[in-house]
Every structure is written in C-alpha cells, then in structure tokens.
Chain A
C-alpha cells in the first residue's frame, strides 16, 4: 500500500493541482464568462509566492494567502473592463491578459528571473497539504452550489436577460466569478511554486491554458464532480495509453473534440445529472402511486 502510494505520488499530486486549477476555470464558465484567464491567475499566484518566499523571506503561509489575494484582485481588475464584452471577445480579452502577464514576467527580469524563472523555492507542499486545500476549495464550491450564489451563476450562464429581469446585477456577479477564479487560480499557482521548486513563465503558457480547459470540458462545467473527473482522466490517461505516449497532445485533442461533440456536459456532470434524473423519476413515480392510492380511497 505504502509502496503503491510512492509509485503514484507524482500522479496524485498532479491530479490535485489540476483539480484546483480546474475549479478556477470552472467557476468562470459556470457564471457564463468565457474566461481563459486561469493561466494568468496561476502565474500571478506562483510568482507572488516564489518572489516573497525566496527574496523577502516572507512566511510561507502568509505568502500563499497574499498570492491568492493578489490574484483575486487581478480578477476584480480584469472584470471591470470585461463587463461590456461577451463570448468570443471575452475569450480574446482574457487570452490577452494571460499574454500580458507572461510578457511582463519575461520582461521584469530583476524580480522574476526572466525566461529562466525562479529556482530554489522551498519544497514544502506535499500530498497532504494539497488534499487539505482541495477539500477546502471543494467546500466553498459546494456552498456556492447550495446557496443563491450558484443559482445566480447558473442563471447568468443560461439566460442573462432573465437574471437581469429578476434584479441580478450582472456586472457584479461576473466580478464575483472573476475574483473567485482569480483567487483559486492564484492559490494553486502558489502551491505549485512550493511544490515544483522552480517556475518559469512558459509553465503558464498556451499548454497550461489548454490543460486546464481540458479538465473542465472533460469533467463538466457545473458540478463539484466535474473537475475531479476531468483531472482524474487527465492523470490516468497517460498511464493507460502508454503506447500512444508520443502522441499525447493528439490523444488529448481527439478527446476534447469527442467530448465536446458527444458529451457536451462533460463526464462528471453527466454522471451527476444521470443520478439526479433517476432520483426525480423515482420521486415522480412515487407521487403517482400516492395519488392513485388516494383516489382509490376516495372512490371506494
């Protein structure tokens, strides 16, 4: 058992980090924001922590919290100009945001080490820490789902005009979604810094963006299970498809096309929906039975 854990530990840790970034991506999509800014938020969190810890001797926990706050703040700042944009334009604007972050990281060599990045970050994050923090984020996502906030996000995604007609301030809730996406992305960016020892700007480029998007598309955009399923598939797939290892991007690409075409809600969401429908069908059948019984009593 212990040996098994050590053998698979990197995969488990990779899975946990992916789940975290997945939630950052998911909360934006759930609120109907076509944001692909998670890579930028993760970069901000990762560099904030790396710089604070290696260059200023800031306490590690404080650095992670500060990184999260800065990335959340970046989400807020980003949401303000984006309030007027929708769809493709939102996607492009968030993509531009990621490019700006990366090019500034490359440019500000004195702080960021330029293309070489920052090395010598203390490796203090382990599987336990990751599990604890993923669990905390899941609790928050679960809370959002069972309070009014989640319902408003769902409404904004499905039909913005309805939300507005019921008094929902669209800009404000899109800003919440961006702040949450930023904070969660920044938090896990910081954890990644403290896990991998060394970070560089290109860790957060196009490939990162595609991976995070894949996690949520595969898993699902609305349920708690979504990013977990997506990240699990992404973590296990390379193990299962070893002969195709060289063509891994192609395999990911084909999966993306197949899932978005034939299982547009994602594997995790579909599973949850299936159970939900079954439960409702059972409840409906039960109601019919109760009604028939009542009718039988009254007619006799």
Chain B
C-alpha cells in the first residue's frame, strides 16, 4: 500500500516538476514571479480539450496546445513584464501585472467553459492497467513519467549543452554582464517564456487526463504548489525544482493517505515557511548567495 502511494505521488510530483520548471526558469533569468503561470497551465488543458472535442487527433491537440501556451508565455513577457523591466525595480509591479494576465485568462476560460467542469471524451487516452510487484500502474501514469523524464532530460541538455542554454545561464548569473558580452537578453527572455509556457501547458493537459476534470480555476492550487516547490528546491534552480516536485508529490500522497484529511495543505505550506526561514535559498540552492559578508 505504501509503495503504491509513493508511486502515485511520484506521478503527480513529476507533473509538478513540469509545471514548476518553467516558473523557476523565469525566476532564474528575470528574478520575477510570474503569477500567470497557473492560468497558462489551465489554458493548456482547455486548448487541448477543445481541440480534441472538435475532432483533432489527440497528439496534435497536445502539440497545438503547447505551442499556444508557449505563445501565451511570450505574451505575458511582452505585456506584463517587459514594460516594467524598462523602469527598473520591477519585482512588485511584475507580480501585480502578472496577476492581471492571470485574471484575464481565467475570465476568458470561465466564459468559454460556462463555468462547467470539462472532461476529455472517453477513449481520448486508452485506459489500461498493468500489475507488477504488487503495484497497479496505468498506461497513462507510465506515459506521464516517461514524458516528463524525457522532457526534463531534454531541458537540462538544452540548458547545459547548447549555446542558447549558455546564454540563459549567463543572463541568470548577471544580466548586465551577459548583455555586454553580446547576449540578446530580450530574446533569451522570450525563449524562456515560450519554454515555460509550453511546459505549463503540457502539465495542464497531463493533469487534465490524470484526474479527468478541468475547470477554469484549476491553475490556482498548482500555482500555490509551484511556490512550495521552488522555495524548497531553491528559486531558480532546475535540479532543485525536480527533486522538490517529486518530494512534494510523494509527501502529499502520503499525508492524504495516512493523516486526517484537510491537513495536507497546512503541512506543506508550513514546510514551505520553515524552509524559507532556515534556508531561504532552498534545500538545494546556494546557501552563500544571501549573506555576502554583511552584518545581520
């Protein structure tokens, strides 16, 4: 029973990872919190749903949804972040304007769906279960784990091995220095926003499939969980986000199974709080980044 819970937790956690990676990537390069990330996730699920019911092959629907949410990411950067960045000290204003984008997306989704809960039509994804070592795992769960693993590997490869990745890391370390070295900072921003949006969109589709229920507010709890993930993993840290997502997924599935219902949120947010206090840079972040020899 315990191992089954852990397995289920890992599956949910892997989707958290997909979602949180984009969020942490944006923070890494811009040092800004993108509150529209939850709505982008929801948009991914919605777009895939409407494409599917209009008769499009499911894989194509997913691809289209990822492109669309990637574009939403770019729009967020252009509309909500870029004008504020020019002014400097955008930390708080960007939080506000991304909430603005979040509200717009949610409002549109609410009208489109008429506030209804949406479900993918039966058979969108084959319902098939496997048993091994006493564990019950669905084909969907296997596909999710595999997809996330492949994407994470691709993303890390992209960030570590390609010239774009080097530019992203240069901007994350020191934006001004990167610009002086000839990195096109704006284009790095747009690309990270596209990737972040596309990953969030895919996460939305996967969650929509996994729980077979989508509604216009579905992004909010995931947004809140992304905060937990990025704080525990270290804001801006890619490996931290992955490990923390899996941890969170497992922890959540265990608390739901073994503790009184309703305590899950209290526990995970208290955990977030404690980590913020003890290690503001996360369990896997650079502990020295904060201090720098100042007197406290």
Contacts and interface: CB of A to CB of B under 8 A. Distances in A.
Interface stretch (B9-17, B45-53, B98-106, B159-167): B98-106
B289 to A, nearest CB: 12
Nearest to B274: A81
B103 A84 contact: no
Nearest to B98: A257
Contacts of B33: 88, 91-92
- B interface, by DSSP: helix, strand, loop or mixed? helix
B286 interface: no
B107 interface: yes
Interface stretch (B80-88, B145-153, B183-191, B206-214): B80-88
Contacts of B227: 92, 95-96
A217 B269 CA distance: 27
A260 B103 CA distance: 15
B270 A100 contact: yes
Nearest to B94: A260
Interface stretch (B125-133, B171-179, B243-251, B258-266): B258-266
Contact of A257 (B80, B220, B228): B80
Contact of B277 (A34, A84, A249): A84
A249 B107 contact: yes
Given A210-B103, A250-B108, A261 B84 contact: yes
A246 interface: yes
Contact of A88 (B31, B83, B96, B224): B31
Contacts of A93: 272-273, 276
A264 B104 contact: no
Interface residues of B, number: 46
Interface in A62-120: 81, 84-85, 87-89, 91-93, 95-97, 99-100, 102-104, 106-107, 109, 114
B91 A85 contact: no
B92 interface: yes
A260 B276 contact: no
B296 to A, nearest CB: 7
| Range of interface residues on A (Cβ < 8 Å) | 35 or more
B239 interface: no
A85 B262 CA distance: 28
Contacts of A255: 100
A139 interface: no
Nearest to B223: A206
B111 interface: yes
Contact of A97 (B83, B103, B273): B273
B144 to A, nearest CB: 26
A96 B262 contact: no
Contacts of B99: 210, 213, 253, 256
A107 B262 contact: yes
B107 A213 contact: no
B96 A103 contact: no
A260 B224 contact: no
Contacts of B92: 29, 34, 87, 91
Given A34-B91, A88-B33, A249 B103 contact: yes
B271 to A, nearest CB: 9
Contacts of B272: 92-93, 96
Given A34-B92, A107-B266, A261-B97, A249 B110 contact: yes
Interface string B208-250: 0000000000001000100110010001000000000000000
A250 B107 contact: yes
A279 interface: no
Interface in B11-26: none
A70 B289 CA distance: 36
Contacts of B262: 103, 106-107, 109, 114
Nearest to B262: A107
B79 interface: yes
A268 to B, nearest CB: 16
B25 to A, nearest CB: 15
Contacts of A87: 91-92
A257 B100 contact: yes
Contacts of B277: 81, 84
Contacts of B110: 249
Nearest to B276: A93
Nearest to A244: B107
Contacts of A278: none
A89 to B, nearest CB: 6
A85 B93 contact: no
Interface of B: 27, 31-33, 79-80, 83-84, 87, 91-93, 95-97, 99-104, 106-108, 110-111, 220, 224, 227-228, 231, 235, 260, 262-266, 269-270, 272-273, 276-277, 280, 296
12 contacts: A85-B280, A87-B92, A88-B235, A91-B33, A93-B273, A95-B224, A100-B273, A104-B266, A206-B220, A247-B111, A256-B99, A257-B79
Given A247-B108, A256-B103, A257-B101, 10 more contacts: A92-B276, A93-B272, A96-B228, A96-B269, A100-B266, A100-B270, A103-B263, A254-B104, A260-B84, A264-B93
Top 8 closest A-B pairs, CB basis? A253-B103, A250-B107, A256-B100, A103-B265, A257-B100, A249-B107, A253-B104, A103-B266
